[in-house]
Amino acid sequence: MAEKLSEAARKADLPALMDSGWVLVEGRDAITKTYTFPNFVDAFGWMTRAAIWAEKWNHHPEWSNVYKTVDVTLSTHDAGGLTDLDIKLARKLDALAAR
């Protein structure tokens, strides 16, 4: 089972994610981001690519899609908060969106 991020890891990893648009979820140890794509097909295609990585890493996001917008929240439920898996997946989601 993954362990929650240490304070040192939070200070090292979260600022870059915040700079790329991730925000802390109020009242919860989680991060969230809204991705906006040109259209539904691009949004759904991105979700499909992201789902392959999430399944490969056995770490699945909370997300919803409305037309060209995808809202994503990351937290490791088993650990009760943010772990290195969330950081890893957030970085991958950003990289996939940049393509």
- Mean pLDDT value across residues 77-91: 96
**Per the structure, how many domains does the chain have?**
1
Kindly state the average pLDDT of the residues 62-78: 97
Q: Are 54 and 63 contacting, i.e. CB atoms less than 8 angstroms apart? A: no
Helices (H), the chain: 7-19, 40-56, 84-97
Range of the domain at 60: 30-97
Percent of the chain with pLDDT over 70: 100
**Residue 40, domain member (yes or no):** yes
Distance in angstroms (rounded) separating the CA atoms of residues 17 and 30: 12
Report the CATH number at residue 79.
3.30.1360.20
Tell me the pLDDT of the chain averaged across its residues.
96
pLDDT score recorded for residue 2: 87
In a domain, 11, yes or no: no
Q: Is residue 8 part of a domain?
A: no
